[in-house]
Amino acid sequence: MSEVHLGMKSRERIFRFIQPVVAILFGLAIGLLITLYAGENPWHVLKILANSAFGSVENIGMTLFYATPLIFTGLSVAIGFHAGLFNIGAEGQLAFGALAAAAVGILYPNVPGPLAPVLATLAAFAAGAVWGYIPGWLRARRGAHEVINTIMLNFVAAGLTSWITLYLLKSTESQNPETRTIAPAYLISHFAFFGDTPFNPSFLLALVAAFALWVLLWKTVLGYEMRAVGQNELAARAAGIDSAKMRIIALTLAGGLAGFVGVGEVLGHSHKFEIGFSPGYGFMGIAVALLGRNRPLGIIGAAILFGALHKGSLDLDMETEKVTRDLSLILQALIILAVSADGFWERVRKAVL
| Touching another protein, residues 251-290 (CB under 8 A) | 269-270, 274-280, 283-284, 286
> d(Cα 124, Cα 76) in Å, to the nearest integer?
14
Q: What angle do CA 255, 308, 276 make, to 5 degrees?
A: 45
User: By C-beta, is 50 or 333 nearer to another protein?
Assistant: 333
Annotate each residue in 38-67 with x if it binds another protein (CB under 8 A) or - if it does not, as one string: x-----------------------x--xx-
Closer residue to another protein, CB minimum distance, 23 or 157: 157
Amino acid letter for position 325: R
φ, ψ (nearest 5 deg) of residue 170: -60, 140
Tell me whether residue 62 or residue 289 sits nearer to another protein (CB atom): 62
Task: Report the distance separating Cα 103 and Cα 170, nearest Å.
Answer: 11
* 351 lies in the binding site for another protein (CB under 8 A): no
Q: How far is the CB of 112 from another protein (least distance, A)?
A: 27
- DSSP track, 28-68: HHHHHHHHHHHT--HHHHHHHHHHHHHSSHHHHHHHHHHHH
When the beta carbons of 110 and 172 are compared against another protein, the nearer one is 172
CB contact set of 331 (below 8 Å; sequence gap of 6+): 27, 28, 31, 309, 313
Q: Provide the CA 199 distance to its chain's centre, in angstroms.
A: 16
Q: Which stretch binds another protein (CB under 8 A): 70-78, 142-150, 295-303, 307-315?
A: 307-315
Give the span between the Cα atoms of 28 and 9, in whole angstroms: 29
Find the binder of another protein among 42, 55, 109, 177 (CB under 8 A).
177
Q: How far is the CB of 110 from another protein (least distance, A)?
A: 25
Which one of residues 29, 168, 297, 318 is an interface residue with another protein (CB under 8 A)? 318
Which of 208, 322, 344, 347 forms a contact with another protein (CB under 8 A)? Answer: 322
* Centroid of chain to Cα 352: 33
CB distance 248 to 136 below 8 Å: yes
Query: Can residue 189 be called a binding residue for another protein (CB under 8 A)?
Result: no
Q: What are phi and psi of 302, to 5 degrees?
A: -65, -40
Task: For another protein, give the closer residue by CB, 2 or 110.
Answer: 2
- The footprint of another protein on residues 107-136 (CB under 8 A) is none
Nearest Cα to Cα of residue 164 among 110, 96, 92, 109: 96
Please state the separation of Cα 206 from the chain's center in Å. 10
Dihedral of the alpha carbons of 265, 287, 330, 325, in degrees to the nearest 10: 0
Cα separation, 301 vs 299, whole angstroms: 5
Q: Which stretch binds another protein (CB under 8 A): 22-30, 70-78, 248-256, 306-314?
A: 306-314
Query: x/- string (CB under 8 A) for another protein, residues 6-25?
Result: -xx-----------------
Compare residues 119 and 152 and give the one whose CB is closer to another protein.
152
**317 near another protein, rule: CB under 8 A:** yes
Least distance CB 234 / another protein (angstroms): 5
Choose which of 29, 235, 297, 352 interacts with another protein (CB under 8 A): 235
Q: Which amino acid is at 348?
A: V
Q: Out of 74, 80, 97, 198, point to the residue binding another protein (CB under 8 A).
A: 198
Contact call for residue 314 and another protein (CB under 8 A): yes
CB closer to another protein out of 62 and 106: 62
